[in-house]
């Protein structure tokens, strides 16, 4: 039985618990491995490390610590980063990028200048710079993504950074790199044309027209330096009531469509109203809308072009962030906010919601970077002696195993609820992928009903499913449960489940407030 759209969420939830017979399916998922949306880009499992609070200093990098290696990298953090399989690491910001002079961060460490960090009110020692970052990427097996200073910086600073990183000939900046110990070019492919330049909080904030002019000239100069690089335009990040985020993207795409490979989107969410179902529902609707709008804008910009340059979305900052304050908030105390969110169980479910949306749009969302890697709104949290894994760590690890799979266009129906006057949405938020190589189907199912388990019929439309299924489940009786040093309460459970197969399908109950990944055998 399906609870239809017209009831407010609370009544729909009541119907779910009371009126539905125990094993009667309430929801349906149809899997057809021929209905492919696109490849799940490995770049969806990117991350971001900014000079902010204790992300770099005291997180990734802690010189003199007994926990660090000879490069100053925290070895325990390196170990914790590995299972995340970070495919792309973005650096140095973030807001920090818009005041950063990369030349301060190269050369002998003891001779580097200390500077005021005008984005976050800190003192920047510059002991961690370009070569340290690129070495870190090599150590964790991530592609580096450098974000230029499109705020206070210049076009030629950006061009020279490409020269420092990638030039093979004996030019001035390539020779500086050699002098600093790196003979071979670093060969950095991914470059961001600035960070959140649409936000009034940004150093060197510009209007869309001024940004597009700057970015176009930077792209031209950087590409003349190295034609093989990929460029990401700074798209919308400012969704405030007065912000014309659609107009910003339109202007950027119109001017830059022949130069860029990606347009960025940033989204942070929070359960400010302390309403679990609304938190996981309204933000899901927003993310869907934003992806669909930007996809349409890319198409509109390319309309009429004989051979348009492919442009994808890079969701290069995403996460839950609302307990620690934001720049622009009246109580924001620049220099005091380390953005150290302690994530709870429901925040981990939100990570599944984001990843489901990216996978459902795998044809257009080709990069995503969780903000950030360590301590600062991050899955890994350190002190001087140890670290612990935050709740949001676990979905990242598990979804990451689906990189390179084919995202499937599943047909899903589930009981619905409404948030205010917004369109109805299903309690089940689902994505699915298929790996032809090992004939495995993954169903990623978030049950965002706070009160009700949902009995679901799963059918294979093309081919058959085998038994048993491998189940990964993240659940906790306490939505607000947090992890801490020596007390990681929120961890996934795994088990094998024998499926009662009939007519190419089976029934499975997705528990209330849970995130489940079913790994099925396709036969
Ligand atoms: O990730 C924290 C901050 O959020 C970044 O510096 C900025 O780009 C965004 O506003």
Cα 357 to Cα 201, 239, 324, 354, 407, distances in angstroms: 28, 19, 25, 5, 11
Give percent of the chain with pLDDT exceeding 70. Answer: 94
Same domain assignment for residues 356 and 426:
no
Same domain assignment for residues 85 and 124:
yes
Same domain assignment for residues 454 and 390:
no
Mutate to test the pocket of ligand 1, among 202, 265, 371 (most ligand atoms within 8 A of CB): 371
Q: Is 129 in the pocket of ligand 1 (CB under 6 A)?
A: no
**Token pair of 258 as six digits:** 């022949």
Same domain assignment for residues 210 and 320:
yes
Alpha-helix runs per DSSP H in 55-183 = 75-81, 130-140, 155-166, 172-179
pLDDT for 324: 86
d(CA 142, CA 148): 19
Among residues 132, 143, 196, 398, the one annotated as catalytic is 196
Q: Is 95 in the pocket of ligand 1 (CB under 6 A)?
A: yes
User: What is the atom index within ligand 1 of the atom nearest the CA of 237?
Assistant: 10
Residue 282 counted as domain residue: yes
User: What is the atom index within ligand 1 of the atom nearest the CA of 199?
Assistant: 10
Antiparallel, parallel or unpaired: β 465-474 and 514-522: antiparallel
Q: Cβ neighbours of residue 303 under 8 Å, at least 6 residues apart?
A: none
pLDDT for 326: 73
Catalytic site includes residue 196? yes
pLDDT for 83: 98
pLDDT for 332: 65
Residue 2 counted as domain residue: no
Q: What is the CATH number of the domain that holds 479?
A: 2.60.40.1180
Residue 347 counted as domain residue: yes
User: What is the atom index within ligand 1 of the atom nearest the CA of 95?
Assistant: 6
Residue 269 counted as domain residue: yes
Q: pLDDT per residue over 425-473, tens digit each? A: 999 999 999 999 999 999 999 999 999 999 999 999 988 899 999 999 9
Higher pLDDT, residue 65 or 333? 65
Antiparallel, parallel or unpaired: β 262-269 and 230-233: parallel
d(CA 361, CA 422): 21
Secondary structure (DSSP) of 5-61? TTS-HHHHHHHHHHTS-TTS--EEEEE-TT-EEEE--GGGGEEE--SSTTSTBTTTB
pLDDT for 362: 98
Same domain assignment for residues 17 and 70:
no
Start-to-end CA span in the chain (Å): 30
Q: What is the CATH number of the domain that holds 96?
A: 3.20.20.80
Antiparallel, parallel or unpaired: β 115-117 and 88-91: unpaired
User: What is the atom index within ligand 1 of the atom nearest the CA of 50?
Assistant: 6
Residue 396 counted as domain residue: yes
Same domain assignment for residues 389 and 414:
no
Residue 4 counted as domain residue: no
Where a domain ends, among 365, 385, 403? 403
CA angle 166, 167, 170 (to 5 degrees): 150
Instruction: Provide the 10 A C-beta neighbour count for residue 7.
Output: 17
Q: Which DSSP symbol is given to 484?
A: B
**Token pair of 487 as six digits:** 């007390």
Same domain assignment for residues 28 and 47:
no
Residue 1 counted as domain residue: no
Same domain assignment for residues 124 and 155:
yes
Same domain assignment for residues 291 and 367:
yes
Q: pLDDT per residue over 209-246, tens digit each? A: 999 999 999 999 999 999 999 999 999 998 887 889 99
Same domain assignment for residues 233 and 312:
yes
Q: Which domain holds residue 21?
A: 9-38+408-521
d(CA 360, CA 449): 20
Mean pLDDT score across all residues of the chain: 94
Same domain assignment for residues 478 and 501:
yes
Catalytic site includes residue 209? no
Largest Cα–Cα separation, the chain: 76
CB 340 within 8 A of CB 381: yes
Confidence of residue 194 (pLDDT cuts 50, 70, 90): very high
Residue 289 counted as domain residue: yes
pLDDT for 374: 98
For the chain, how many structural domains are there in total?
Answer: 2
Q: Whose CA is nearest to atom 1 of ligand 1?
A: 371
Q: Whose CA is nearest to atom 7 of ligand 1?
A: 94
Q: Is 98 in the pocket of ligand 1 (CB under 6 A)?
A: no
Determine the distance separating the centroid of ligand 1 and the alpha carbon of 6, expressed in angstroms: 38
Among residues 132, 163, 317, 341, the one annotated as catalytic is 317
What are the percentages of helix, strand and coil residues in the chain, rounded to 5? 30, 25, 45
Where a domain ends, among 403, 436, 461? 403
Mean pLDDT value of segment 56-80: 98
Q: pLDDT per residue over 2-50, tens digit each? A: 332 333 333 333 334 334 445 799 999 999 999 999 999 999 999 999 9
Determine the distance separating the centroid of ligand 1 and the alpha carbon of 153, expressed in angstroms: 18
Alpha-helix runs per DSSP H in 376-456 = 393-400
d(CA 470, CA 498): 9
421: Cα within 13 Å, side-chain hemisphere: 0
Cα 107 to Cα 90, 117, 152, 187, distances in angstroms: 21, 19, 22, 19
Antiparallel, parallel or unpaired: β 88-91 and 505-510: unpaired
Q: Is 317 in the pocket of ligand 1 (CB under 6 A)?
A: yes
Q: pLDDT per residue over 103-131, tens digit each? A: 999 999 999 999 999 999 899 999 999 99
Same domain assignment for residues 387 and 416:
no
Where a domain ends, among 382, 403, 424? 403
């Amino acid at each position: 039985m399906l609870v239809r759209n017209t009831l407010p969420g609370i009544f729909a939830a009541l119907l779910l618990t009371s009126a539905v017979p125990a094993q009667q399916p309430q929801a349906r998922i149809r899997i057809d491995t021929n209905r492919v949306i696109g490849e799940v880009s490995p770049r969806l499992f990117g991350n971001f490390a900014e000079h902010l609070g204790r992300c770099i200093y005291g997180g990734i990098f802690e010189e003199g610590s007994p926990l660090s290696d000879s490069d100053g990298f925290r070895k325990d953090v390196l170990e914790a980063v590995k299972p995340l399989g970070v495919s792309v690491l973005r650096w140095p910001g973030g807001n920090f990028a818009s005041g950063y002079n990369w030349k301060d961060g190269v050369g002998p460490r003891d001779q580097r200048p200390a500077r005021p960090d005008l984005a976050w009110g800190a003192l920047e020692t510059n002991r961690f710079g370009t070569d340290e970052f690129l070495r870190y990427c090599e150590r964790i097996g991530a592609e580096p993504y450098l974000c230029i200073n499109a705020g206070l910086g210049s076009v030629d600073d950006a061009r020279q950074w490409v020269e420092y990183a990638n030039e093979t000939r004996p030019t001035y900046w390539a020779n500086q790199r050699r002098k600093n110990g790196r003979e071979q070019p670093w060969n950095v492919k991914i470059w961001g044309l600035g960070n959140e330049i649409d936000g009034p909080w940004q150093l060197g904030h510009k209007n869309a027209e001024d940004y597009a002019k700057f970015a176009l000239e930077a792209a031209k100069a950087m590409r003349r330096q190295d034609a093989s690089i990929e460029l990401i335009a700074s798209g919308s990040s400012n969704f405030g009531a007065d912000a014309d985020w659609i107009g910003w993207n339109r202007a950027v795409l119109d001017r830059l469509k022949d130069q860029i490979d990606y347009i960025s989107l940033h989204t942070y969410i929070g359960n400010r109203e302390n309403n679990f179902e609304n938190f996981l529902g309204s933000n899901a609707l927003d993310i869907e809308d934003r992806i669909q709008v930007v996809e349409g804008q890319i198409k509109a910009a390319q309309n009429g072009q004989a051979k348009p340059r492919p442009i994808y979305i890079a969701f290069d900052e995403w996460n839950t962030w609302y307990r620690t304050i934001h720049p622009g908030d009246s109580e924001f105390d620049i220099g005091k906010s380390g953005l150290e969110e302690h994530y709870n169980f429901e925040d981990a479910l939100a990570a599944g919601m984001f990843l489901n949306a990216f996978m459902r749009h795998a044809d257009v969302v080709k990069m995503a970077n969780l903000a950030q890697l360590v301590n600062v709104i991050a899955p890994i949290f350190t002190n001087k002696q140890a670290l612990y894994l935050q709740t949001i760590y676990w979905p990242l690890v598990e979804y990451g195993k689906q990189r390179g799979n084919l995202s499937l266009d599943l047909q899903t129906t589930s009981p619905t609820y409404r948030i205010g006057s917004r369109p109805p949405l299903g309690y089940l938020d689902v994505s699915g992928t298929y790996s032809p190589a090992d004939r495995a189907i993954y169903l990623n199912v978030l049950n965002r009903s706070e009160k009700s388990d949902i009995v679901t019929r799963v059918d294979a439309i093309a081919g058959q499913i085998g038994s048993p299924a491998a189940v990964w489940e993240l659940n906790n009786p306490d939505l607000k449960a947090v992890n801490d040093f020596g007390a990681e309460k929120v961890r996934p459970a795994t088990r094998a489940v024998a499926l009662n197969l009939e007519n190419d399908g089976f029934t499975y109950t997705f528990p209330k407030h849970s995130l489940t990944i079913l790994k099925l055998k396709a036969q």
